[in-house]
Structure 1
Amino acid sequence: MTGHNDAQADGQGRIYQASGNQHITEHHHHSPDWSGPDSVRRPAVGRAPVVLRDRTGEMDRLRAAVEPGIGNRVYVLHGLGGCGKTAVACTLFDHATNQAGRIGLWVNASDPASLRAGMLAVAADRGATDGELMGARSGLRPAADLVWQRLDHSDRPWLLVLDNADDPAILRDGGWLRTSPAGIVIVTSRQAAAHWWPGAELLQFGVLPRDEAALVLRDLAPHAGTVEEAAEVADRLGRLPLALTLAGGFLAHQVIDPWTMADYGRRLDGGEGLDPIELIDQGAVDSSDSRHLLSRTWQLSLDALANQGLPEADSLLRLLACWAGDPLPLALLSGADVGSDLPAFRIESALRGLLDQSLTELVPGGVRCLRTHGVLIDSVTRTTPADQRELLAATAARQLKAALPEAPERGAQDPRVSMLAPHVLALLRRVVDWSVDRLVVEEATQCSLWLVVALHRGGDYSSALAVANKAVELAKQRLPEDHQLVLRLRQRVGRAVYRLGRFEEAEALHRQVLEACERSLGSAALDTLESCLGLSRPLWQLGHEPEAMPLIRRAMAGRTEMLGSVHPLTLVARAYILEVAPGPELYEEIAMGQTLVADCHRTAGEQHSITLMAELDQADLLRRAGRAAEALPCARRAFAAHEQRFGSEYPITLAARSLLSTVLAELGQYAEAIEHAEAVVEGRTRVLGASHPWTLSPQKRLGQYRRSHRQP
């Protein structure tokens, strides 16, 4: 101010400057200068657990930590949001205050303001004066020093819980996290990186075991269904404590038309137009708190990562959500690039951020994997912006194709291949639900086809069938039934059914696919010729060689014309003729077999699977022609080569061993024939099952060999 009216106000005073007569009326309303929590002596939780399920080992460790005379320790309970860290801290709080003789102090550490206010309230509780508190609030004295001075001089031992400390930097700034001989500190956090917690003991928390997860639902809604029904719902919820608590709360508080557990489980599958995540969130007590809602709790962690300079973590999580919640080989992320939102060189740092925030986790094992919770994936998927879906799905498909073998050899596959099955199907489901461009749907469908072929050639026929059936069901929602990829998947269904010994069913399936191929692709197309071979196999097993042989000859002729006589696909068709040739044609086919084996050696190599197949078929052809003595050395070589190439229990190795056993028996060498037949029966029982036709037939022959061997 200027002139002769200079003045100074103090406290609540005011200064007014005017010329002329003025009448001023001022009213003062005094209110308490306090913005802290109403209480630090009670856990600030939305819904305390009725009974804390599982966590027995962790609770034993924590109960021991709050026994009398123990201090100077910090325990960090970390894990995915919603995994029950706060519930464990709350249970320990009750034990410490009711049985262990400690004062319990509870502070919300989710943001700087709440932490500061809560810790100053702790200082007040432990005897800080109004003057000391005012100095700390105004910045005239270090607030954290005041709090810890009062905690150090507490007249009673205490337990301090710093809940929801998902950003450890908040604790580090100002030195809010310390130890004291007077008490024990418990921190709950999603932040798993050990470097944030020097000197602390870290306890990781995940999902609940199936039985315990079912009991959480039963604790809240005991009349809604049986334990097994509750377990099925728990599985659908990924056994995540937050999801279980929300579901149980919803079931417990319905009034007009209460649902059973089974009703709830059906609606979780998305029936009746219900969004599963929205349904789960309806069980929340406080719908304004993001931590209590599945649809919003993860965003807290992503916001924290963005504040730490890792906005790419959001895009990486959306990419992971294109796949499944099963263990995902880390190699799948190598070279991933989702444009400017997630360039390849930022994948590593984004992944570390997700790991640190417990949004995904590393899985121990022979193959380095990470796992993202299924409910989190569902939640992220539903909120993925429509304009990002196509790029994410295309990237996910590209990464899968790079990890899958395009033309796998027969024999044991890379263990990572079978691990990709749930992720391939999850991606196909995403592209169907998201209505992305048809080209992306085709890429995802191609991934499923490559996977099915790899599983089949690895000898896992049941998995190949399951994946193929599901892939057909999903792909047909976006692609026409006569699309080449759909037809090829249907062919693989028929092949898997045949390998599982269901010959009549395989015949019907292959007939349908052959008709579809002829109708949409033409009679000379390679896929049509493949269906001819596919149909020939069950026909042969059912004793219909006269119908099978023309199909094989048609395939061989067509492939020879289009590809040449020594193309791998033509060589396969030529080998089929050797295997199926009926009696009148045996002698003619033996010469063809010799030529075929020579062509295979020359063009494919001695150890190639097609060469081994041709040699095995030639040995069987000699046996059927009555030339067992000539067939024996061929059968021995075929078995030895298959065992070396594929292992002793690979299906084709067992077929080679079965042939060797049969040739030995025909030559009267029953002791060795029985030895091999026993190994075949045992192996096929393990691999194919005791009731499979290919297990029963050698079992029957084994009995015949034993009887013949006992005869004088």
Structure 2
Amino acid sequence: MTGAMDGHAEDSGRVYQASGDQHISEHHHHYGEEAAARGGPDSVRRPAVGRPPVVLRDRYEVLERLRAGRSGELYVLYGMGGCGKTAVAYTFFQLATNECGRVGLWVSASDRSSLRAGMLAVAADRGAENGELLAARNGLRPAADLVWQYLDRSTDPWLLVLDNADEPEIFRDGSWLRTSPRGTVVVTTRRSATRWWPGAELQHIDVLPREDAARVLRDLAPHSGTHDEANQIAERLGRLPLALTLAGGFLSQQVLDPWTMETYRRRLEEDEGFDLIDQGADALSLEDPRHLVRLTWQLTLDSFESRGLPEAAALLRLLSRFAPEPLPLSLLNREEVSSALPRARCEIALRALLDQSLTELVDVGVRCTQSHGVLLNSVAAATPPEMVPGLDGTAVRLLEATVPTVVDAGPYDPMNRLLVPHTLVLLRRGSDLPTVTTALVVAVRLCTALHRTGDYLSAWETAQTAADLGERRLGKDHRLVLAARSRAGRALFRLGRYNEAELLLSRIREAQERLFGADDPDTLDTCHGLQLVLGNLGRREEAVSLLRSTVAGRQRALGSAHPLTLRSRSSLLVLLSAPEIRAEEDGALLALPSECIQHLGLDHTVTLGACHNHAWALFGLGRFDEAEQEIRLVVEAYQRRFGPDYPNLLSAQQLLSRILAARGDVNAGIEIMREVTAKRERSLGVDHPFTVASRQLLGAFRSGQ
């Protein structure tokens, strides 16, 4: 890898960067484990850096050191935010892929969920199968081991960049950070302590020297002033590449009333906001990017106002209420945005932010906008307090309008994960109780959506985090807090953690009955989930008793034709014995599928579930022909709607194998169970109770041949 470089490093080995039409995007996220799983990246083969740097200056020594390294090495590029660490990694990535024939892999390591999703995407790139990935996503097999297994097996040499690793502790959970003889790992981070990076070669990336910082401004705005004036601005901005890029972009975009560098410098001197560099930053250097970037974007927003485009400033303030994660563009294209800025002007406002490098477009399977975390934090801090409640209200209403009120089962939808971090950040820092309450409503809906698409681990993590955040603001006995914890218990059951689920759901049921009554819909929802746990723990009598009371309660509270009532009634078809089913309401329970079709329609999810359970009851009654005919229709419907690995489909296929074996076609039953067992091992893990049951059934079929 070669490239024309005109700078070098001396003494301590620090090197510096500047560029021509320079655009440096570093994304730094500062929030804890409240962040839920986001959707996986659309690609790990292309660096997610927005606009790449056009010219790389004074990083020659770093690049030479990286180029000279051998496979199996780990390099850590560290320095303060905005100094160009990502730009160095990007340039090395291009050299490695274009000149050295390596496979380039780029992962955002800004938080636990981004790292996990990105690394699993790397495993997929290197050949991991869908079932293995599903098991890793659900926490049922070691995700890091799976990723590094496929990296170690790679037939092609590779370069893996872990970008924005500002929380290095997340690497220790599962030992995500490793080395391999098949490739090289490069990490960009703010954290420089050697204890975080054992065995790594560390390289400091500093701010720009004065001359090169001035050159950035001159490259971007060549006609705005002299080199000496550029030097003064560069010093005033702390020689931070990100701040210089925004300043140069501001100067270059002025048309009607062009600013000179002298005007810009004078505004910097006069702007009262510049005093904020010292306030609240006692422990930080004067080059702290939070303050310097804040100055720069504020000048840009002032220019929006003066040019008759206040909507751009309004949109950026609205974006600052969300998390620094990809935000679906469709969310901004809703009528609810009109309370912050006219919907018809949202398009031009977004284009203005893109032009000024205040946000960027990213594609993670869904078209999104994403803004720098430091920028958003700065905008949020500078927003007038009287505007905050209105902006929070708009943000949460946009989320509420995007998530369906009634969530149906379906295949994986990346939108769900994308919305989670934005909902949680509003739940965590919402300015008033209405915002917090609505955010918790949305969070519970998202938990339900994640659960019903089979993403049980994300559902559990989101529900648990939402409940903890909601409890701090609303109290532990708030209805929505209890509903979120109930969803967490339902997800624990699906993850095979029966004892934990039983303890949690029992506690929540007791609280809901005490606070809201036994026939309250939330109480009954928890009861329905708890009876599933009890049944799978072998406590059938308790489960039957609880389910009967749930059915009766839902009939009183919701009516006999309500989908939730019909769902609970259909569960009786699985729990009751054959004699109990015959005696149940003079056989009316066996007519439940027809009742569901009448009230809900043939393709409704509850109708399909009732037909599935009805086939099980027919099997228990020895009516094998009818059972086989019905379950085959269910299998076909599940495959069409949910895909080949959906949990309910595997359950239906397992029932079909039982029926075939009971009719004497054991070989057909074995063939189906072999596939079901293999899929459950990949998606749920070998020790999940569902997997164990499938493996035992397969063994029974084989031993009975």
The alignment's TM-score, normalised by the length of structure 2, stands at 0.63
Number of the residue aligned with 2:197:
227
Question: How far off its partner does 1:225 sit?
Answer: 3.9
Matched with 1:610 is 606
Q: Identify the match of residue 681 of structure 1 among 667, 677, 690.
A: 677
What SS does the corresponding residue of 1:369 show, helix, strand or coil?
strand
Measure, in 1, the Cα distance between the counterparts of 2:329 and 2:317: 16
Q: CA deviation at 1:281?
A: 8.4
Partner in structure 2 of residue 193 of structure 1 = none
Q: 1:650 aligns with which of 627, 646, 650?
A: 646
Secondary structure of 1:680's counterpart equals helix
Find the aligned partners of 1:212 and 1:550 in 2 and give their Cα distance: 53
Pairing partner for 1:77 from 22, 30, 44:
22
Counterparts in 2 of 1:306 and 1:284: CA distance versus 1, 3 Å: farther
Name the residue aligned to 1:704: 700
Q: Which has the higher contact order (CA 8 A, sep 6+)?
A: 2
> How far is 1:468 from its partner?
0.5
Deviation at 1:222, TM superposition (A): 6.2
Aligned to 2:369: 370
1:489 counterpart (471, 474, 484): 484
Offset of residue 280 of structure 1: 7.5
Match in the other structure for 1:361: 360
| AA matched with 1:412 | P
Q: Does 1:51 align with 2:3?
A: no
3-state SS, counterpart of residue 15 of structure 2: coil
Whether the 8 Å contact between 2:314 and 2:341 is mirrored in structure 1 is yes
Q: Which is further off, 292-301 or 692-701?
A: 292-301
Aligned partner of residue 210 in structure 1, secondary structure? strand
The superposition leaves residues 633-686 of structure 1 with CA deviations (integer Å, 9 ceiling, x where unpaired) of 222222222222322211111110111112212222122111211221222223
1:448–1:468 CA contact under 8 A, matched in 2: yes
Q: How many residues end up aligned between the 2 structures?
A: 495
Q: Do the aligned partners of residues 223 and 369 (structure 1) sit closer, same or farther apart at CA in structure 2, a change above 3 Å counting? A: closer
Q: 1:534 aligns with which of 529, 546, 550?
A: 529
What whole-Å deviation, never above 9, does each CA across 1:273-306 have from its counterpart, x for those lacking one? xx9998878543557xx89734434334333433
* One-letter amino acid of the structure 2 residue matched with residue 427 of structure 1: L
8 Å CA contact 1:81, 1:297 repeated in 2: no
Q: Which moved more, 1:590-599 or 1:396-405?
A: 590-599
Instruction: State the alpha-carbon separation in 1 of the partners of residues 201 and 339 from structure 2.
Output: 43
1:144-163 matches, cutoff 5 A = none
Give the letter aligned to residue 480 of structure 2: L
Name the SS for the 1:78 alignment partner: coil
Give the one of 428, 441, 445 matched to 2:436: 441
- Structure-2 separation of matches of 1:542 and 1:480: 32
Q: Any conservation in 1 of the 2:321–2:395 contact (CA below 8 Å)?
A: yes
Counterpart contact for 2:164–2:187, Cα < 8 Å:
no
Task: Select which of 632, 638, 646 maps to 2:634.
Answer: 638
For 2:630 and 2:304, locate their aligned partners in 1 and report how far apart those are by CA, in whole Å: 65
Aligned to 1:694: 690
**Aligned residue runs from structure 1 range 63-74, under 5 A:** none
Name the residue aligned to 1:284.
285
Deviation at 1:380, TM superposition (A): 2.3
Query: What is the CA-CA distance between 1:584 and the residue it aligns to?
Result: 4.6
Q: Displacement, 1:692?
A: 1.2
Q: Which residue of 58, 62, 67 corresponds with 1:91?
A: 58
Q: 1:210 corresponds to which residue?
A: 162
Code of the residue aligned with 2:320 in structure 1: it is A
CA distance in 2, matches of 1:665, 1:417: 40
Report what 1:556 is aligned to: 551
Does 2:656 match 1:660? yes
Distance in 2 of aligned mates of 1:617 and 1:552 = 15
Decide which moves more: 597-606 or 413-422: 413-422
In the alignment, the residues of structure 1 paired with residue 600 and residue 635 of structure 2 have an alpha-carbon distance, to the nearest angstrom, of: 19
Deviation at 1:346, TM superposition (A): 2.4
| RMSD over aligned Cα atoms | 4.1
- Partner in structure 1 of residue 460 of structure 2: 465
Unaligned runs of 5+ in 1: 1-41, 54-58, 63-74, 96-163, 165-205, 235-241, 247-274
Equivalent position of 2:514 in the other structure: 519
The one-letter amino acid of 1:476's match is E
1:487, 1:517 within 8 Å by CA — same for their partners in 2? yes
Could you tell me which amino acid in structure 2 is paired with residue 410 of structure 1? A
* Contact 1:597 1:615 (C-alpha < 8 Å) held by counterparts: yes
Matched residue, 1:671: 667
Q: Which amino acid aligns with 1:76?
A: D
Match of 2:308 in 1: 309
Aligned-partner SS, 2:21: strand
Secondary structure of 1:76's match?
coil
Instruction: Compute the displacement of 1:344 (Å).
Output: 2.4
1:442-472 per-position Cα deviation (integer Å, ceiling 9, x unaligned): 1111111111111111111111111111100
Q: Say whether 1:510 aligns with 2:505.
A: yes
Question: Aligned AA for 2:621?
Answer: A
Q: Does 1:565 align with 2:565?
A: no
Cα distance in 2, alignment partners of residues 646 and 219 from structure 1: 40
AA aligned opposite 1:464: A
- 8 Å contact kept, 2:516–2:523: yes
Once residues 404 and 692 of structure 2 are traced to their aligned partners in structure 1, the CA distance between those partners, rounded to angstroms, is 34
Q: Cα–Cα, structure 1 residues 602 and 213, in superposed 2: closer, same or farther, change >3 Å?
A: closer
CA contact (8 A) 1:487 1:513 kept: yes
Instruction: Classify 1:666/1:94 alpha carbon distance in 2 versus 1 (closer, same or farther; 3 Å).
Output: closer
In the TM superposition, residue 314 of structure 1 has moved relative to its aligned partner by 2.2
CA shift for structure 1 position 414: 4.1
Question: Over residues 549-583 of structure 1, what are the superposed CA-to-partner deviations in whole Å (9 max), with x where a residue is unaligned?
Answer: 11111111122223322221211111111111145
Alignment correspondent of 2:580: 585
**Identity of counterpart residues, as a percentage?**
39
* Deviations 1:73-119, CA, capped at 9 Å, x for gaps: xx522345999999966528999xxxxxxxxxxxxxxxxxxxxxxxx
Closer/same/farther in 2, CA of residues 344 and 641 from structure 1, 3 Å limit: closer
- Give the 5 Å matches for 1:90-129: 90-91=57-58
Q: How does 1:179-190 map to 2 (within 5 A)?
A: none
Q: Distance in 2 between matches of 1:76 and 1:458?
A: 44
- Report the secondary structure of 1:370's partner residue: strand
Alpha-carbon displacement from aligned partner over 1:411-467 (angstroms, at most 9, x marks no partner): 125432332111111221221xx3x1x222111111111111111111111111111
Aligned to 1:430: 429
User: 1:277, 1:378 within 8 Å by CA — same for their partners in 2?
Assistant: no
Q: Gapped runs of 5+ residues in structure 2?
A: 1-5, 28-48, 63-81, 83-106, 110-160, 167-184, 205-233, 241-275
CA distance in 1, matches of 2:494, 2:453: 12
Larger radius of gyration: 1
Aligned partners of 1:363 and 1:228: how far apart in 2?
Answer: 33
TM-score, normalising length: structure 1: 0.62
2:401 is matched with 402
Counterpart code for 1:470: T
d(CA) in 2 for partners of 1:451, 1:213 = 27
